[in-house]
Amino acid sequence: MGFLTDVVGEAFRYVADFGPELREILALTLVVAALATAIGVVLGVPFGVWLGLSRFRGRGIVMAIVNTGMGIPPVLAGLLLLILLWNDGILGSWEALFTPGAMVAAQALLAFPIAAGVTAGAVRNLNIDAREQLSAFNVSPAGRGWIAGREVWPGVAAAVAAAFGRVIAEVGAVLVVGGNIEGETRVLTTAIVQEARQSNLGAALGLGIVLLAVALIVNLALTWAQMRGEARV
């Protein structure tokens, strides 16, 4: 019991201190996760809308691939990128390995199928009358997609939240392609792993508390936006 209270006390002291190292880690975590989510959403949501609206042979297979992608182990996504980014790899000339850029790319790879899959699900659940009306409109496929995406926007917001939650909480991909370099590529999750490896359980728990707080704030903001949007419409 004494040990547990010690660790928890240390954790809260660590958070309360909010030292420069923690601030730096938090800032990088937010920037990387936000950019990765943005890229994943910008590519994934339109793809999801298209997938949800279209009827073609093999759509089921594409859907299955996307759903599998939603569950891809982050460390596997990291490894795939690592192999590409190795100096002698296909993208080695970018010299992007162990940079925040590589971390953004790896997490975007994780965010994309989630953004696409959740959006496609929301579009597929569109009322049959809405789908019928939509296909009767005299608009381009892109215009149709825009109307459909707007119609299911609470679902799109859920896709954003799910993608952000996944990337900010994952450690496998950022550790492999980021390398957890102090002051360069260290984020909350990789810092937690490192502190835990060192048996600095208080600091590890403190970082975990910060991570959960960030995830909670982002989700509250999105839920609030959803509810406000629902009330307005």
Contacting positions for other proteins (CB under 8 A):
3, 31-32, 34-35, 82, 85-89, 92, 94-102, 104, 127, 129-130, 132-133, 135-139, 143, 147, 150-151, 153, 179-182, 184-185, 193-194, 196-201, 232-233
d(CA 133, CA 129): 6
Q: How many other CB atoms are found less than 10 A from the CB of residue 180?
A: 18
Tokens of 49: 């809308």
Q: Which amino acid is at 121?
A: G
Least Cβ distance, residue 156 to other proteins (angstroms)? 12
Q: Which is nearer to other proteins, 57 or 197 (CB)?
A: 197
Nearer to other proteins, 66 or 203 (CB): 203
Alpha carbon separation from 49 to 62, 78, 98, 170 (Å, rounded): 13, 27, 34, 26
| Count of residues making up the chain | 233
Least separation, in Å, of the C-beta of 134 and other proteins? 8
Give the Cα separation of 4 and 7 in Å (integer). 5
Tell me which amino acid residue 106 is: A
- Minimum Å distance from CB 18 to other proteins? 20
79: which residues sit within 8 A by CB, 6+ positions away?
176
Which of 58/199 has CB closer to other proteins? 199
Specify the residue, 32 or 49, whose C-beta has the smaller distance to other proteins. 32
CB of 195 to other proteins, least distance (A): 8
* Of 115 and 134, CB closest to other proteins: 134
